[in-house]
């Protein structure tokens, strides 16, 4: 009888233990290069809450490179307060068929547990006879939306720096429920007159307020490190709350 009780106790213990989120051990790395990595994110087994929050810290000769999960997406910042992860966003470039793309270039990205923040990001296209298209996917990569904008201009004189209202630059919002996207861009006409000051079309999706369009971008937009804001939460808690009491609050996750 006693043995059976012990056995039941043991089983109960195992069930409870497996449901309880393990606290990160004190010797877990707290950063990767300049990036702070707060729990529930972590770089090693036992340091993150579950696979979703794994940040792989790759070291090359000169620096540490934090990558989100298995997605190979560069992490720029993590905010517990806002429930946001800032990652590096891809830029696509179309040079009227005259310049071949780097084969490593992605035309978008796909995530499963982090959504593209609809309030913080904008799809942007830059060029003077340019169509930019944003195709959004949900967390199982099913199509959610296709939307786009058109940007035109005849001369540089009409450009207003800082304004993405369809003259040299256009912007549109990202809808709710988008976990991944692909982007396309092409020229409306192959007009050599504008080609002199606008050899390429560009499109990218990035955090509002981080890109300031200016005339020089029509000539060349160096592959900048553009920030994209991803939303995340643990269950219905922000992870700041979760971090304060991970045992209690993160169990249902």
Ligand X SMILES: *[C@@H]1O[C@H](CO)[C@@H](O)[C@H](O)[C@H]1NC(C)=O
- Contact in structure between 28 and 42 (CB atoms under 8 Å): yes
**Contact pick of 21, 178, 234, 249 for ligand X (by CB under 6 A):** 234
If binding is defined by CB under 6 A, does position 108 make contact with ligand X? yes
What dihedral do alpha carbons 221, 70, 111, 32 form, nearest 10°? -60
Q: Is 51 exposed, middle or buried (0-12, 13-18, 19+ CB in 10 A)?
A: exposed
Distance in Å, CB of 72 to ligand X, minimum? 10
Judged by CB under 6 A, the chain residues 188 through 207 that form the site for ligand X are: 189-191, 193-194
If binding is defined by CB under 6 A, does position 99 make contact with ligand X? no
**Bond preceding residue 219 cis, omega within 30 of 0:** no
Nearest in space to 96 (alpha carbons), one of 217, 224, 204, 198: 198
Q: Of the two residues 114 and 171, which places its CB atom closer to ligand X in the complex?
A: 114
Distance in Å, CB of 97 to ligand X, minimum? 4
Distance in Å, CB of 174 to ligand X, minimum? 15
Judged by CB under 6 A, the chain residues 120 through 179 that form the site for ligand X are: 137, 141, 154, 161
Which part of the chain contacts ligand X (CB under 6 A), choosing from 5-13, 47-55, 118-126, 167-175? 47-55
**Contact pick of 208, 215, 224, 240 for ligand X (by CB under 6 A):** 215
If binding is defined by CB under 6 A, does position 213 make contact with ligand X? no
Which part of the chain contacts ligand X (CB under 6 A), choosing from 5-13, 15-23, 164-172, 231-239? 231-239
Phi, psi for 7 (deg, rounded to 5): -65, -45
Q: Determine the Cα–Cα distance for residues 60 and 76; give it in Å rounded to an integer.
A: 17
If binding is defined by CB under 6 A, does position 209 make contact with ligand X? no
**Contact pick of 176, 214, 224, 240 for ligand X (by CB under 6 A):** 214
If binding is defined by CB under 6 A, does position 64 make contact with ligand X? no
Judged by CB under 6 A, the chain residues 171 through 190 that form the site for ligand X are: 180, 182, 189-190
In the bound state, the residue with its beta carbon closest to ligand X is 253
If binding is defined by CB under 6 A, does position 79 make contact with ligand X? yes
How far from each other are the two terminal CA atoms of the chain, in whole angstroms? Answer: 36
Which residues make up the interface to ligand X (CB under 6 A)? 50-52, 77, 79, 81, 96-98, 106, 108-110, 113, 137, 141, 154, 161, 180, 182, 189-191, 193-194, 214-216, 234-236, 253
């Amino acid at each position: 009888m006693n043995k059976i009780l012990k056995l039941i106790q043991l089983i109960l213990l195992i069930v409870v233990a497996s449901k309880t989120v393990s606290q990160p051990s004190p010797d877990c790395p707290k950063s990767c290069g300049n990036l702070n990595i707060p729990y529930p994110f972590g770089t090693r087994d036992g340091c993150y809450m579950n696979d979703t929050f794994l940040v792989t810290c790759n070291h090359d000769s000169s620096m540490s490179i934090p990558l989100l999960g298995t997605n190979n997406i560069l992490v720029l910042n993590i905010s517990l307060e806002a429930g946001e992860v800032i990652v590096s966003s891809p830029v696509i470039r179309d040079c009227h068929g005259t310049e071949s793309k780097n084969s490593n270039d992605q035309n978008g990205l796909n995530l499963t547990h982090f959504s593209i923040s609809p309030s913080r990001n904008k799809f942007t296209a830059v060029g003077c006879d340019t169509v930019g298209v944003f195709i959004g996917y949900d967390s199982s990569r099913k199509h959610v939306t296709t939307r786009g904008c058109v940007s035109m201009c005849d001369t540089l004189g009409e450009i207003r720096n800082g304004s993405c209202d369809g003259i040299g630059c256009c912007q549109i919002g990202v809808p709710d429920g988008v976990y991944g996207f692909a982007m396309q861009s092409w020229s409306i006409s192959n007009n050599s007159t504008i080609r002199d000051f606008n050899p390429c079309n560009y499109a990218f999706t990035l955090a509002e307020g981080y890109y300031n369009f200016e005339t020089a971008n029509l000539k060349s937009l160096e592959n900048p490190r553009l920030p994209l804001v991803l939303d995340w939460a643990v269950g219905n808690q922000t992870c700041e709350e979760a971090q304060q009491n991970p045992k209690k609050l993160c169990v249902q996750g």
